[in-house]
A = this chain, B = another copy of it.
């Protein structure tokens, strides 16, 4: 009898959530969750910070923060981004409740019901669900190993996506595709977008998680290019460099956009947790981030290698994947005729789970892919789990 609004009809349950409940079964080896490993969190560092906090500052942590963020944290995030040559002095910054909130805010600012948003395909499901919650039409453009496929983008922008308001990209250690954009592809993309009436949302939560110093230059954001070829909204997050439980991210964009973003955030949650903002500020300010990142990169790189070696050994030759240079994911392409859901069913019976490709397809169709996260699974179980999945794939060949 309830008369729900139109946007409710666009909401759908995420398969990841369903899998997460399976994943709490200790007998299941899960490659499903795209989350950091609990044992890698900087618990000692945060303990030290908490226990040496000035009492006055601690009390500030219990209080409302200004909507744009706890001022010292805004400064320390700016300092951190300045070192990456991001244009923090000509742009403004707002602290958000994870970068997902930043994506949601940008959708709110630019998407009217029925408007088109261009995304990658596959695409981070937080992005697609945020855009759909504003009743946008999504046009997904396929990726190759170097980034978005330019010919497909051009065709879409000449046709279906002609009046797109927003293009949403996640160029660095993509979730779920595991790729990083090449420098050439970024240039080609920006040249093409220049002069078009579109806003680019550059989502960059995995920026720091490169597996070799030589890959670092691949993580230079498009937002660093000045003057901007198109308006770029750049988002980042503490979720992968401190912990998602802090619920902190940021949005860097022009003062005009950030002013509107503040108003939107004011009606969403008033401010992000001041308590965790105070801790995150000290984490940056006390120089605890860089040594922590070195630990993280080594740990995730090691896990990726274990998974990749095991995949090479066990996966049938008909399957393809790009070896990740950073991030949390290996994205496996199966032959077209194989339905990842069928593979999942067999694999789940044998005790290993992952997320099927369809989940990340903005149109919910393409399903011959699977996402394996190597970030969260206990290291010693990766081999056993991959073998189960490889057997399941073979059974469907």
Contact for A257 among B2, B126, B256, CB less than 8 A: B2
- Say if the beta carbon of A337 comes within 8 Å of chain B: no
Which of chain B's residues have a CB closer than 8 A to the CB of A263?
Answer: 8, 11-13, 129
| Complex Cα spacing A348 to B116, Å | 48
| Complex Cα spacing A110 to B4, Å | 5
- Say if the beta carbon of A158 comes within 8 Å of chain B: no
| Complex Cα spacing A264 to B268, Å | 12
Which residues in window 193-211 of A have CB below 8 A to B?
197, 199
| Complex Cα spacing A65 to B267, Å | 23
- Say if the beta carbon of A104 comes within 8 Å of chain B: yes
Interface size class of A (residues with CB under 8 A): 35 or more
Contact for A43 among B12, B62, B245, CB less than 8 A: B62
Q: What's the least CB distance linking A123 to chain B, in Å?
A: 13
Tell whether, in the assembled complex, residue A267 and residue B130 are in contact, meaning their CB atoms are under 8 Å apart: yes
Tell whether, in the assembled complex, residue A8 and residue B66 are in contact, meaning their CB atoms are under 8 Å apart: no
Closest to A68 in B: B17
| Complex Cα spacing A64 to B246, Å | 9
Tell whether, in the assembled complex, residue B271 and residue A268 are in contact, meaning their CB atoms are under 8 Å apart: no
| Complex Cα spacing A352 to B126, Å | 45
- Say if the beta carbon of A100 comes within 8 Å of chain B: yes
- Say if the beta carbon of A366 comes within 8 Å of chain B: no
Which of chain B's residues have a CB closer than 8 A to the CB of A98?
Answer: 269-270
| Complex Cα spacing A112 to B256, Å | 27
| Complex Cα spacing A165 to B273, Å | 31
Tell whether, in the assembled complex, residue B63 and residue A243 are in contact, meaning their CB atoms are under 8 Å apart: yes
Which of chain B's residues have a CB closer than 8 A to the CB of A278?
Answer: 245
- Say if the beta carbon of A3 comes within 8 Å of chain B: yes
Contact for A133 among B1, B58, B100, B264, CB less than 8 A: B264
Which of chain B's residues have a CB closer than 8 A to the CB of A260?
Answer: 4, 8, 11
Q: What's the least CB distance linking A394 to chain B, in Å?
A: 33
Closest to A269 in B: B97
Closest to A67 in B: B17
Contact for A97 among B97, B113, B279, CB less than 8 A: B97
Which among A55, A112, A267, A276 has the highest number of chain B CB atoms within 10 Å?
Answer: A267
Which of chain B's residues have a CB closer than 8 A to the CB of A17?
Answer: 66-67, 266
Which residues in window 379-396 of A have CB below 8 A to B?
none
A residues in contact (CB < 8 Å) with B: 1-8, 11-14, 17, 20, 33, 35-36, 38-39, 41, 43, 46, 50-51, 55, 58-67, 97-98, 100-101, 104, 108-113, 115, 126, 129-130, 132-134, 165, 197, 199, 231, 239, 242-247, 256-257, 260, 263-264, 266-276, 278-279
Apart from A5-B115, A36-B62, A100-B270: 12 A-B pairs, beta carbons within 8 A: A6-B112, A17-B67, A35-B64, A60-B245, A61-B243, A64-B244, A108-B133, A126-B270, A133-B264, A244-B274, A246-B275, A247-B269
25 A-B Cβ contacts within 8 A?
Answer: A1-B197, A2-B199, A5-B109, A5-B115, A6-B112, A8-B263, A11-B260, A11-B267, A17-B67, A17-B266, A36-B63, A38-B59, A61-B243, A62-B242, A62-B243, A62-B245, A64-B239, A64-B244, A65-B245, A98-B269, A100-B267, A100-B269, A129-B263, A129-B266, A133-B267
